[in-house]
Amino acid sequence: MNAPNRAGWRPEIAADPCEDRAPPTASGNRALALEEPLIFELGAAGKCGLDVEPVPGEVLPALAKFRRRAPVALPGLTEPEVMRHYTRLSRQNYAIDLGPFPLGSCTMKHNPRLDEKLARLAGFADIHPLQPRQSVEGAFEAIAQLADWLLALTGMASVALSPKAGAHGELCGLLCIRAALEARGDPRAVILVPESAHGTNPATAAFAGYRVENIPATAAGRVDLAALTARLGPDVAAVMITNPNTCGLFEPDMKTISQAAHAAGAFVYCDGANFNAIVGRVRPGDLGVDAMHINLHKTFSTPHGGGGPGSGPVVLSAALAPFAPLPLVRRDAAGHATLIEEEDAADTAPDSFGRMTAFHGQMGMFTRALAYILSHGADGLRAVSGDAVLNANYVLRALEDVLDAPFAGSGPCMHEALFSDAGMAEGFSTLDIAKGLIDEGYHPMTVYFPLVVHGAMLVEPTETESRAGLDGFIASLRSLAERGRAGDPALKTAPHYAPRRRLDETLAARKPVLVWKER
Amino acid sequence: MRYLPLTGDDRRAMLAAIGAPSIEALFCDVPADCLLDAPIAGLPGHASEMAVERHLAGLAARNLTAGAAPFFLGAGAYRHHIPASVDHLIQRGEFLTAYTPYQPEIAQGTLQVLFEFQTQVARLYGTDVANASMYDGSTACWEAIAMAGRITRRKRAVLSGGLHPHYTAVAQSMARFTGDELHALAPALVAAPDDDAVIAAIDGETACVIVQYPDVLGRIPDLARIAAAAQATGALLVAVVTEPVALGLLESPGALGADIVVGEGQALGVGLQFGGPYLGLFGCREKFLRQMPGRLCGETVDAEGRRGFVLTLSTREQHIRREKATSNICTNSGLCALAFSIHMSLLGGEGLARLAEANHLRARQTAAALAELPGVTILNESYFNEFTILLESDSRGIVRALADRGVLGGVSLGRLYADAHGLSNALLVAASEMTSEEDITALCKALGEILTQVPA
C-alpha cells in the first residue's frame, strides 16, 4: 500500500533508462539501506570514546607477574562513530515497534515505554543485590507485590522468582519436583513429555538428570490421554504439559491428567509459555498444576531485546513450595516483605533445594512486569487474553480456505492459529511463505514447530494488533498462500527486498567463523 | 485500556466474522468449573500511566541508591560509569523490541552485534571462540562444569575456595541432581589464594578445576601453574571472571592456559539492577566448540554473495536436539550483550587498560586509608579493585551500622558464608573509577566511629 496520492499527480522526469533494474552504487548503499562494516574494520587501536579520569598512584608490586603485557586487542571508537555504527545496524532489524511479529509461542506484544522508564528509576536500577536489607526495603516490597499478583492470577501457593528465563524456570520446577520426591524417599527416573512440547521441555528434563519419554498427540491435536494414563507408574516423576498447547488448543482433559498423575504419585509441570491465552480467565492451580513457569517476557511484556533477557518465575503448589530455591522474598505475618537467604534458611526454608543463580533474579524485569500488571489491572488482563484469542481466531477463520488448518475443526483456537503446508505446489513449502512475508513487511510466524504438523506455521498475533493491522497481515498471507499454491517461482527466491537475501546456513555450520580475524 | 487497539465495534465485527457469539464462547474447551466469569475478585482494576508511575516511584524512593551514598560493594556485581550513549542505543526499538534472530534476513543488526560481541569476549578472555551469552556468571559457571564433563567423560570437579560462594551454591544445586561429584574447597582468610590446595585436590578422575580470577576475596591466583597441573592429568582448567574490567590490567585467562573461561559481564554497560538481568560470558578453545552451550552467531554469505550473519551450529541446541542438547538454554541475555558490546566499543583495548588502572589505583587508595584505622587489617597481598579487610567483630553488624550512617561500606563474609563462622569478621571492599576521595574519607570516618563505639 503506497502513501495515498488521490490526485494521481506525478512529477515530470525524463524517461528512466533503468526502469527495470535499479543501478548499482559505488558504496553498496541504497539510499536509506546502509551497509555497515564491523567495529574491527572501523575502529583503530589507541582510539577511545571515553575520557577516563586518571588517578594518581602506582600499581601494586604484587601484581607484576600477572600484569598483561599489551592492551586487549580491541579497537576503540569515538562516540559519534559508535552512535552511527549501532544506529545503522539497528535499521537492519525487524521489531515489534515496526509491525506485527506473529511468532507463535513467543508472544511478541507491544512493550509499553512506561515500563522502561520505571525500571530505570535509580531506586531500582542503581541498587546492589547485597546491600544491607534495611537499605532496599522498597525493592523487596516491589518483588512481593509482583509475587502477590502472580499467585492471584495462577491460584497457586508460592512463587520462586529467581529463574532467569523460561527454560531456567522449567529447571527450577523440575528440581523442586526432584527434591520433593527425594524427600519422601521415592526417587523416580522418568518425565513424560508430549511430542508437541517446546524443545526446552525435554532438554530441561535431561539437564535435571531425568530420562524423557514422549507421549503422542491425538488426531485432534491434544495429548493422547489414554496413552498418557497407561504410561503412568511408579517410575514417573512428572508429566510436563503445555497448556494451552503448541497446536494452539486448550487441553480439556488437563484436570483428569492432573488427577491421574497425582494418583500415580507423580507431579504435574505446566509450561506456561502460552499463559497469555488464559490470563485472568483460568487459574492453573484450579487445573491441578504443581509447578508452572511464567515468561514475564511474554505474557507480561518485558521486551525480548533480540534474544533476552527474559525472566521465568515459577509458581508452585503447596506440595512443592517448601523446596523452592533461595533467595526468596516472603511476606511475614504482619505483611512485611522479607528476604530469606542462606543465613535465615535453616529456620524458614529448611527444605529449599539451594540456589539457581547468584542473586535475586531479574529485578529489571520484575519492575517492568509489575508496571505492566498494574497498568492493566484485573480487568485489563482479562481483556488481554480475550483480545489475544479473538485476534487468533480471526486470523484462523480468514485464511482456512487458502491455508490448511489441521485442527480448525476442533473448535476455536486459543491465542495462536496453526496452519500446515498441505496444498502447496510441488517444491513449495512453509519456508517460502515465511520468506515471502518478509518482503511483505512482516516478521514471519513460527515455522516448522510444533513438530506434530507437517510444515507447521504457528501464528500468534497477540492482543496489541488492531483490526486494520490484522486485515493487512491477512491480505498478505492470503496472497502468499495463493502464490504458493500456484507455484510462483519468485516466491522461491524471496526475500527480494530485505537487507540480505537468503543466507547460506550450511556454509556457516560447515566452516564456522565465529569471531572476526584480520585477513 | 491504552494498550488494547480493538474497539467494541471491532470486537463485534470480528466475532460476527468468525461466527462466535461472544469472546467467552471462544473458551468453550475450558471445563466450566475452571473458567472464571469475571475479573479475579480483590485485585485492583486498570490504572493510568501517572498512577502507576507514582506507585513505583514510591517504592523506588524507599531504597538507598548506590549513587546517593559512598559505595564500596562488589562480590560479583560492580558499579561503573555507564556512558550515556549505551542506554540511548539499547532503547532503540529495533534492538529492544526484536526477538531472537531466527529470520536472519531481517535481523542482521542483532546478528552483527552478536558476532562483534563474540569477538570482543574471545579477545578479552584470550579464548579462540565465545558464545552469544548466558544468563549470568553463576549459571555460565555450572554450564562450564557440565561441558567439561562431556569433554572428559569424567564426573568430578574441584572448586577453589576462592570461587564466589553463590557460584559454588548454584553448582551444588545442580550437581545434587546430575550425579556430578563436586569437591569444593573451604575458603580461608589468608593473604594468598588457595592454588596449592587446588592442585593437591586434582586426581585422575577430575574433569575440571574451577578457579576464580581474581578470587572472591580479591586475591589473584596463578592460573598458569594450575593449568599445567590440571592438564597434566587430563583435566580442564575453567577460569571464572566476575569483574571483566580486571582483564584490562591482568593477563587474559586463556593466555595463561585456561581451557574454558566464563564469567559475569555486568560490569560493562549493564549496571547493578539489584542482581539482574546480568550477562553470562562464555569462551573456550575452538576444539571444544561442538560441546559449547548456548547460541552461536557465525559469518556466511547471502544468495548474492554479500557477507551476512546467522545463528549456527544449532544442532547442539534444544530446539533441534531436544533431550540430547548441550544445554536447555533458549532466551539468553541479548540486550545486555548489546550494552556490553557498545561499552567495550567505546573503550577499546587502551581505554579498558586506562579504566582498569583507575579502578586499581582507587582500590589502593581505599586500602591505604582503611589500613590507617585501628582494628582494621588488610588481608590481601594482591588484588585488583576489591580486597578483604579483617575486623575484630562480626562485619554484618558493622555493615548495618555503616548503612545507618548513609555509607554502603562493603559485603560481609558472614552474609556470603552463612555457616562458616570463622569468616564472619571479614568484609569485602570494592572501589572503582566512580569512587571519589570524599567517598573514601566518609567510609573511614564512619568505620572509625563504629569501631571505637563497639569494642571487640
Mean pLDDT over residues A381-388, rounded?
A: 98
Average of pLDDT values for B355-364?
A: 98
> In this structure, are residues A164 and A309 in contact, taking their beta carbons and an 8 Å threshold?
yes
Q: Of how many residues is chain B composed?
A: 456
Cis amide linkage into residue A327, ω under 30° from 0? yes
What average pLDDT does range A411-429 have in this prediction?
96
Interface A–B counts its CB contacts (< 8 A) at 722
pLDDT at A19: 62
pLDDT at position A511 over 90: yes
CA gap B245, B79 in Å, rounded: 11
* pLDDT at residue A1 greater than cutoff 60: no
Are A114 and A371 in contact by the 8 Å Cβ rule? The answer is: yes
For B448, the domain range is 69-81+349-453
Residue B22 domain-assigned (yes or no): no
Mutation choice for A interface testing from B80, B82, B90, B99 by most A CBs within 10 A: B99
Which string of DSSP letters, residue by residue, matches B167-194? HHHHHHHHHHHH--EEEEPPP---SS--
How many contiguous H segments (helices) and E segments (strands) does chain A have?
A: 15, 12
B44 found inside a domain: no
Q: Are A455 and A463 in contact (CB under 8 A)?
A: no
Percent helix, strand and coil across chain A, each rounded to 5?
40, 10, 50
Note the pLDDT tens digit of each residue in B326-356: 888 888 999 999 999 999 999 999 999 999 9
pLDDT at residue number A15: 72
Residue A212 near residue A377 (C-beta atoms within 8 A) = no
- Within 10 angstroms of residue A255's Cβ, the number of other Cβ atoms is 16
d(CA B112, CA B290): 21
**Inter-chain CB proximity B335 and A310 less than 8 Å:** no
Torsion angle of the four alpha carbons B439, B440, B443, B447, in this order, in degrees rounded to the nearest 10 = -170
pLDDT at B456 over 50: no
Task: Give the distance from residue B100's alpha carbon to the nearest chain A alpha carbon, in angstroms.
Answer: 4
CA distances from B13 to B3, B16, B96 (A): 20, 5, 34
Q: What is the pLDDT of residue B317?
A: 79
What distance in Å separates the CA atoms of residue B87 and residue B92, rounded to the nearest whole number?
9
Q: Using a CB-CB distance cutoff of 8 angstroms, which residues of chain A are in contact with residue B45?
A: 377-380
In a domain, B9, yes or no: no
Residue B421, pLDDT above cutoff 90: no
User: pLDDT-derived band of residue B308, with 50, 70 and 90 as boundaries?
Assistant: very high
Which positions in chain B touch A397 (Cβ < 8 Å)? 17-19
Taking all residues of chain B, what is their mean pLDDT, rounded to a whole number? 96
Task: Please tell me whether residues B335 and B396 are part of one structural domain.
Answer: no
Q: Yes or no: say if B456 and B375 are a contact pair by the CB < 8 Å rule.
A: yes
pLDDT per residue as tens digits for the range B397-409 = 999 999 999 999 9
Same domain, residue pair B304 and B377: no
- Tell me the C-alpha distance between A423 and A446, whole Å: 19
**Any idea of the CA torsion for A94, A95, A100, A101, to the nearest 10 degrees?**
90
Alpha-carbon gap, residue B366 to B72, rounded angstroms: 9
Tell whether B89 and B236 lie within a shared domain.
yes
Torsion of CA A11, A15, A20, A26, to 10 degrees: -90
Q: Is there a contact between A116 and B249 if contact means CB atoms under 8 Å apart?
A: no
**A38, closest residue in chain B (CA to CA):** B116
Task: Tell if the CB–CB gap between A59 and B360 is shorter than 8 Å.
Answer: yes
B191 in the same domain as B160:
yes
Nearest to B335, CA basis, from B61, B89, B142: B89
Give me the percent of chain B exceeding a pLDDT of 70. 99
Cell numbers 488481554 correspond to A384
Task: Spell out which residues of chain B touch residue A469, defining contact as CB-CB under 8 Å.
Answer: 5
State the DSSP code for A53. Answer: P
Asked whether residue B454 carries a pLDDT value surpassing 90, the answer given is no
Q: Output the DSSP codes for A178-224.
A: HHHHHHTT----EEEEETTS-THHHHHHHHTT-EEEEEPBPTTSSB-
A515, A516, A518: best to mutate for the B interface, most B CBs within 10 A: A515
B38 within domain boundaries: no
Tell me what pLDDT residue B321 has. Answer: 77
The answer on pLDDT for A140 being more than 70 is yes
Indicate the domain borders of chain A. 26-49+78-92, 116-369, 382-506
- pLDDT over 80 at B304, yes or no: yes
Q: How many domains does chain B have?
A: 2
Q: Residue B298's domain is classified under what CATH number? A: 3.40.640.10
Per CATH, the number for A116-369 is: 3.40.640.10
pLDDT value at residue A286: 97
Torsion of CA B6, B8, B14, B19, to 10 degrees: 150
Task: Scan for cell 536489607, then name that residue.
Answer: A133
Mean per-residue pLDDT for B267-284? 98
- pLDDT at site A119: 98
Which of B291, B258, B290, B289 lies closest to B148 in space, CA to CA? Answer: B291
Per the domain annotation, does B19 fall within a domain? no
Contacting residues for B440 by C-beta, under 8 A, at least 6 apart: B70, B365, B366, B369, B431
Predicted confidence at residue A9, as pLDDT, reads 75
User: Is residue A4 over pLDDT 70?
Assistant: no
Question: Which residues from A are below 8 Å from B408, CB to CB?
Answer: 128, 131-132, 135
- pLDDT score recorded for residue B79: 98
Query: What local confidence, expressed as pLDDT, does residue B430 receive?
Result: 98
- Per-residue pLDDT, averaged over B12-41, amounts to 96
Q: Quick check: B239 pLDDT over 90?
A: yes
Using the 3D structure, point to which of B344, B366, B385 is the last residue of a domain: B344
Residue with cell 582483564: B247
Torsion of CA B81, B87, B90, B91, to 10 degrees: 160
Give first-to-last CA distance, chain B, whole Å: 60
- Is beta strand A457-459 parallel, antiparallel or unpaired with respect to B156-159? unpaired
Kindly provide the b/e burial profile for residues A376-390, where b requires at least 16 CB atoms within 10 angstroms of the residue's own CB: bbbbbbbbbbbbbbb
Handedness of CA A144, B270, B379, B437 (dihedral sign): negative
Per-residue pLDDT tens digits for A105-117: 999 999 999 999 9
CB contact under 8 A, A383 and B271: no
Residues B405 and B365 in one domain: yes
Q: Which residues of A touch B314 (CB under 8 A)?
A: 509
- CATH number of the structural domain spanning residue B405: 3.90.1150.10
pLDDT of residue A127: 98
Residues B237 and B248 in one domain: yes
- B371 and B228 both lie in a single domain: no
Q: Look at residue A18 in the predicted model and tell me its pLDDT.
A: 62
Q: What is the pTM of this model?
A: 0.97
Three cell numbers at B360? Answer: 586499581
**Partner B contacted by A205 (CB < 8 A):** yes
B387 and B424 housed in the same domain: yes
Q: Are residues A154 and A285 in contact, defined by beta-carbon separation less than 8 angstroms? A: yes
Q: Could you tell me if B397 and B272 lie in one domain? A: no
Q: What's the pLDDT score for residue A3?
A: 63
What digits encode the pLDDT tens for the residues A46-89?
889 999 999 999 999 999 899 999 999 999 999 999 999 999 99
Q: Is the pLDDT of residue A44 over 90?
A: no
DSSP B57-124: HHHHTTB--GGGS-B---TT-------HHHHHHHTSHHHHT-----SGGGBHHHHHHHHHHHHHHHHH
All three cell numbers of B179, joined, read 550425579
Q: Do B184 and B121 lie in a common domain?
A: yes
Tell me the CB-side half-sphere exposure of residue A227, using CA atoms within 13 A. Answer: 13
Which three three-digit cell numbers place residue A453? 504438523
Residue B357 and residue B336 share a domain: no
Q: Are residues B292 and B424 in the same domain?
A: no
Distance, CA of A268 to CA of A292 (rounded, Å): 9
> Which residue from B92, B297, B302, B97 is spatially nearest to A435, judged by alpha carbons?
B302
DSSP string, A29-48: -BTTB-----HHHH-BTT--
Q: If you average pLDDT over every residue of chain A, what do you get?
A: 94
Given a cut of 50, is residue B136 above it in pLDDT? yes
Burial label for B114, CB within 10 Å (0-12, 13-18, 19+), is: buried
For A382-506, which CATH class? alpha beta
CA distance B172 to chain A (A): 8
User: What distance in Å separates residue A98's CA from the closest CA in chain B?
Assistant: 8
| Collapsed DSSP state (helix, strand, coil) of residue A256 | helix
